[in-house]
Structure 1
């Protein structure tokens, strides 16, 4: 859990993903389309990926990926992020966290 918190707090926007996950890909594309360049951590490509995935599950992320953090705060998984985008809050959250510069 400490590694997750450290990585999440080091960047304005962080997405924990797996390279084979289509929803992960969609969330990465959404962030880039909004003008953000999130830090991406592919859990299936790092040594401690399985442990980080378990930590994300304990945090309440089900499924474990994608797991999104903005401004160091856990936002949720794909469904949560898409809901925020639909109601118009996601972009402002990214601006407030300085993940998007106007």
Structure 2
């Protein structure tokens, strides 16, 4: 878990993703539509990707990708993100990380 926590600490919004994952792409697009440019870690392109994936599962991700961290805290995967978005809570969580246009 040390590797994952090191990658997300002191960062705003971080998404662990796989380049071929359509759900990862959808979550990334959602965040950009909400005015947030997340830091994306494509774990399928990282030599330590399998270890990162294992650590994400150990942290509690139901599905290892997309794994979304906001303010250094694990928020969850697609289901959690969409539930938060539909309830209006996601936008509140993202407010400090939105790019002002």
TM-score between the two structures when normalised by the length of structure 1: 0.94
Matched residue count: 100
Task: Give the corresponding residue for 2:94.
Answer: 94
Cα separation, 1, equivalents of 2:98 and 2:6: 21
Gaps of at least 5 residues in structure 2 are none
- 1:101 CA displacement: 4.2
Task: Give the corresponding residue for 2:67.
Answer: 67
Task: Give the corresponding residue for 1:13.
Answer: 13
After superposition, give the CA deviation of every residue in 1:40-97 in whole Å (9 maximum; x if it has no partner).
Answer: 00000011111000000111112110000001110000000000000001011011xx
- 1:11 CA displacement: 1.3
TM-score between the two structures when normalised by the length of structure 2: 0.94
Runs of 4+ in 1 over 3 A off after TM superposition: none
Root-mean-square deviation (CA, aligned residues, Å) is: 1.0
- 1:10 CA displacement: 3.0
Cα separation, 2, equivalents of 1:26 and 1:20: 12
Task: Give the corresponding residue for 1:35.
Answer: 35
Gaps of at least 5 residues in structure 1 are none
